[in-house]
Chain A
Amino acid sequence: MAVITYREALNHALREEMERDDRVFLVGEEVGVYGGAYKVSQGLLEKFGERRVVDTPICESGFTGVGIGSAMVGLRPIVEMMTFNFALVALDQIVNHAAKLFYMSGGQFPIPLVIRGPGGPAHQLAAQHSQSMESYFCHVPGLKVVRPTAPRDAKGLLKSSIRDDNPVIFIESETLYGVKGEVPDDADFLIPLGVAEVKREGRDVTAVAYSGMYYRVLEAAEEVEKTDGISVEIVDPRTLRPMDTETILASVRKTHRVLVAESGAGFAGMGSEIASFITESAFDDLDAPVTRIFGANAPMPYARNLERLKTPSKERIIDAIRKLCSV
């Protein structure tokens, strides 16, 4: 098993799946000659040529539509959003077409489409480029939504997304592209969609966290273990839709206390959804109300100090864990 970056893991997934199936192709801004704005598609143009690695004008609604149309006629497109914030321009294509055509055509047109790119807060990208948009897409029936955390997850989940016959929203993270980890080289290494992972075993509190927030919760968990002897179990859902409720509920039944962390705004966010199914299914196992940690209800400020205030900090997570345990 090699130790590679999250960025390389995604590149390997793209490369392996394009080698495996010649219907798979990549389309988006700067994906070819420039190798991707974040260098995820580096080397693919040279290897697969212009017909399968397609540079487009700056027009998300247009090239997302190209992806959907080509999926309707049997190809398996991967559409890169330079950042997911730009997918808002293509929202009609994604919500009204990609998510609905299979249903509205009576099953005649499956849409095996992956839309991928980075999302969530990074470093001083300001209000329009720092949004955590997973909950927008999770709200739409017909879409699958993936947010990989570790390099291993990035590779295994992207390959499964490409092989899936449904439109998949695959949201990466600017801050994670450089993270390194062990990743299997096996060309058939897959992580199934809809399966969560217990990334850290614990006894006293279940923390549900994914993507960048996972790493912050992990730091908090290590600290409270030392300072308070509180043992935190961290469950990474990996796929947000469909959500692996069983793995989360099993952890809740063990620890009886839950914290859900997300970087986006809290109202109608992922934490709300996770808190409600836990309350519905494991009410009698709860020793405290489900606690949510989320970003402040404000556009992301550009100033670094304010950016830090908006995003959930390790200290806030630690406070929340202590409160949950009535320490």
Chain B
Amino acid sequence: MAVTKVVMPKLSEAMETGKLLRWLKQEGDRISGGDIIAEIETDKADIELEAFGSGVLRKLLATPGTAVPVGELIAVIAEPGDDISAVVGGAPARPVAAPAPTPVPAAAPAAAPVPSAPAPAGVTSAAMVLPPGRLRVSPLARKLAQRASIDLARVTGTGPGGRIIQRDIEASVAARPPAAAGRPAAVAATMPAVAAMAPAVARTGPDTEDVPLSPIRAAIARQMTQSKAPVPHFYITTEIAMERAAALREELQALPGAPKVTFTDVVVRACAVTLQKHPGVNASFTGDAIRRHRAAHIGIAVAVEDGLITPVLRDCDRKSLFQIAAESRDLVERTRARKLRQQELSGATFSVSNLGMFPVDEFSAIINPPEGAILAVGAIVDKPVVVDGQLAVGKRMRVTLSADHRVMDGAMGARFLADLKAALEAPLALLV
């Protein structure tokens, strides 16, 4: 019979670890393929983990609340008679969530080293728990921790076998609350002459405040740096007359039973149609080739409380404007509620970022690799324009294409923008 290894899935391009939030099944439960067995928190969203195999959930290896590297074994599904010792024995040891060795202060019983209520039996197996009194720490991490006065017992290791490595110390330093106030006063006392000249209202507290990086901010920081450094960006801007698109949108919305259609939806549909004419723009750089994508899967940048998520609307080239409007609305709402499914987080071939709801005339976006381009959309503004030699008031929208120069050149980007402009200025074609 088949033994199914359940590993921490890679749910987005940038994902390195996932936190197991909770097990939804217990050891001994019978599982069919497709059952939801756990919830996982990634950099960007909480995701439900589906089982790929059927059988009995024999072993739960990951402890709720711990970060697990992508690809690491977290559970085993097999038939009751199957020998799974070889599979389980091969799993790297991981520490339990709270470090056992340190004495727990009476004031903080919550930090007790006992896993909370529905503790899977797996955590008690020998492979899971470190010998008491011994933390796994890389020599570098030990040195850095000492230098930064970090208590290693309070750091969760993300290296092999739960070893504390450099990045764990760096994360602890970043997450540390800013140093307590009080020092400025002491300094002032030793420098009375300077203190006398200080403004009447003295500033208290430290001059800076370090806000710890949330997982999403850390992911954005990493992903954007990985884009901007290696991807040679170039930018092309054009201005688009939006009178007819605005009129069309109003007419569509007035239809009975019509969904709310946003300008973003209109732009997404126009991009999908235009990308079909410009396969060179709907492309990625693979290192030794340029990969052209047949479908236009469009990422839509959505601002959330502490960052930015770009969920993917698939096959926009084959969807009507109404379909795009309905689906994108659902996608945006679920993005804000952090209820995305894993396949909605990756696989875009092109992205649209619209800041038109703000007083933004135009801006340049950073490409989301491995996509080859992203369109940055500014606000639609009423402005003086010249029509047939006469001054008139027009609705204008400025868009900027950021493109990967390894994939395309300026002329190709310019031709794409020209056709996009034409599509939005004569928008009836978006309906067919």
Contacts and interface: CB of A to CB of B under 8 A. Distances in A.
B291 to A, nearest CB: 12
Contacts of B384: none
Contacts, number: 43
Nearest to B17: A326
A283 interface: yes
Interface string B126-139: 00000000000011
B165 A222 contact: no
A256 B141 CA distance: 10
Interface stretch (A40-48, A126-134, A223-231): A223-231
Interface residues of A, number: 15
B287 A226 contact: yes
Contact of B139 (A223, A285, A323, A327): A285
Interface in A222-272: 222-223, 225-226, 229, 256
Given A229-B226, A284-B143, A287-B166, A327 B287 contact: no
A288 B165 contact: yes
A326 B160 contact: yes
5 contacts: A225-B230, A284-B142, A286-B139, A287-B166, A326-B167
Given A223-B287, A226-B287, A326-B69, A288 B138 contact: yes
B142 A222 contact: no
A287 B140 contact: yes
Nearest to B143: A284
Contact of B287 (A222, A283, A326): A222
A327 B139 CA distance: 19
Contacts of B167: 326
Contacts of A226: 230, 286-287
Contacts of A327: 16, 69-70
Given A225-B230, A229-B230, A287-B159, 6 more contacts: A226-B286, A229-B226, A287-B165, A288-B160, A327-B16, A327-B70
A287 B138 contact: yes
Interface residues of B, number: 20
A285 B226 CA distance: 25
A326 B140 contact: no
B158 interface: yes
A223 B70 CA distance: 19
Given A284-B143, A286-B138, A286-B139, A323 B16 contact: no
B232 to A, nearest CB: 14
B287 A286 contact: no
A74 to B, nearest CB: 52
Contacts of A285: 139-140, 143
A256 B139 CA distance: 10
A327 B165 CA distance: 12
Interface string B189-233: 000000000000000000000000000000000100010001000
Nearest to B165: A287
A326 B165 contact: yes
Nearest to A223: B287
A286 B140 contact: yes
